Amino acid sequence: MPRIAVVTGANRGLGLATARTLSGHGLHVVLTHRAASDETTTAVEEIRAAGSEALAMRLDLDDVGSFRRFAQDLQKNVRERWGRTTIDVLVNNAGIGLFGSLEDVTLDDFDAVIGTNLRGTFFLIQALAPHLADGGRIITVSSSLTRHVSPGTSLYTASKAALEAITRTLAMELGTRGIRANSIAPGPTATDFNGGAMRDDADLRDDLAGRTALGRVGQPDEIADAIAALASDEMRWVTAERIEVSGGSLL
């Protein structure tokens, strides 16, 4: 039977890289996206052309009321396409970042970041946990910012720190089913997150590279490789952990 992974926010950046990497490890992948995009369509076609299987499904983390229907549609799709009624890996990657100093953060900013990154992710896990196979994996994307600090990131960092705490608790709650729950904390990575600042701003990239042990910022595939490792059997004795993938950033 095929192993199946769901990757949220898989239409671009880290999520897209993760979907491609997991498929390269033989998993069938469900790529979720808030809005349809050419990147998602292309990724599904590439994964299928490479000999694995993939499908795209719409999912908006802001719309918690849609999660029950999403779970039902997910179960229907994987049963009809791949002969399964459960999934094996859930990668909680989707999220937003709104940054600003204390005096600049608005109530709308707060509600958007906490609503998407924390509220949305928590209730999606709640909706999909019954559909996760015993022995499955939950991998939640956090940030190296929960270890070091940077001005203007307090709200975003708070949402990620909360996810790390939830992940540790879920490792205990779901451990009786053999489900492992871990968080991955990327450091500065050249993606389109935050308007592509890390990818496109050479001065910012060089500055952070100079404060990283390996002397550069990360690439999406490098974070995706770490996620794939956590999804594998080789990491079967690892749960309730925060694993930073930052190249030794800001030590």
Residues 140-161 have pLDDT tens digits of: 999 999 999 889 999 999 999 9
Q: Which residues contact 135 (CB under 8 A, 6 or more apart)?
A: 88, 177, 178, 179
Per the domain annotation, does 196 fall within a domain? yes
Per the domain annotation, does 250 fall within a domain? no
The Cα 140–Cα 223 span in angstroms is 12
The Cα 130–Cα 26 span in angstroms is 23
Per the domain annotation, does 251 fall within a domain? no
Which residue stretches of the chain have pLDDT < 50? Answer: none
Token pair 């608005």 in the structure block, residue: 106
Specify the pLDDT at position 199. 58
| Number of domains within the chain | 1
What is each CA distance from 121 to 113, 162, 233, in whole angstroms? 11, 11, 25
Specify the pLDDT at position 207. 81
Per the domain annotation, does 193 fall within a domain? yes
Q: Which of 70, 99, 122, 156 is catalytic?
A: 156
Residues 44-69 have pLDDT tens digits of: 999 999 899 999 999 999 999 999 99
Nearest-10 crossing angle of helices 67-82, 121-128: 50
CA 3 to chain centre: 18
Q: Is 156 a catalytic residue?
A: yes
Per the domain annotation, does 88 fall within a domain? yes
Specify the pLDDT at position 204. 73
pTM score? 0.95
Q: Which domain holds residue 125?
A: 4-245
Per the domain annotation, does 183 fall within a domain? yes
**According to DSSP H, which parts of 50-138 are helical?**
67-82, 107-113, 121-128
Amino acid in position 170: L
Specify the pLDDT at position 180. 98
Residue 15, domain CATH = 3.40.50.720
